[in-house]
Chain A
């Protein structure tokens, strides 16, 4: 079974631009969660989508948004990029059930650099 895939793997943008990142979950998984990882802040939760609906949201400004399609693929958008948005953006997929053993599997990440 194929793992979680993310595109692109690397991205360089300048301040003020916007960016869209894509995530394809493991087949059969309906939940996609997005995280931002920086050396100083660690792994921080952005939001989670389940069945095309945002189910949970972290403490990030409205410049960060996402969506999920009917095939469970998800996109994340960051508008008006700032230098501090430079990070590794990770998505993780799971079945999304409420059972205690629902396990998230991570994609390889997208390394975003904002100049």
Chain B
């Protein structure tokens, strides 16, 4: 069974700090990896995706992928209270997207 694992949190960081969110996956055939943000009571919204080993930056967000270790992470620089949400890691393999349980991030002013 394909699994995607995330620490449920909550991960608490002070405003302005770097938040680091981690995700591991079991299927070595996974091709691409997505990070979604979900505010309470809302639907998930795409932050970014990555499919090559290494780092990918988009504004304050950096996704990191290590396929050998089956590990993907999301760094949020200069965290703001508005970043407080649940972050979902999703892994794409064989036309299917499998989601982790999400990590709840709390950014304290």
Contact = CB atoms under 8 A, between A and B. Distances in A.
Contacts, number: 52
Interface residues of B, number: 23
Given A43-B44, A90-B43, A106-B43, A101 B32 contact: yes
Interface string B77-109: 000000000001010101111111110000000
B45 interface: yes
Nearest to A96: B95
B17 interface: no
Main secondary structure of the interface of B (DSSP, over half): strand
B44 A90 contact: yes
Contacts of A104: 34, 46, 90, 97
Interface of B: 31-32, 34, 36, 42-46, 49, 51, 88, 90, 92, 94-102
Contacts of B94: 56
B51 A45 contact: no
6 contacts: A33-B97, A43-B99, A48-B95, A103-B49, A106-B36, A108-B42
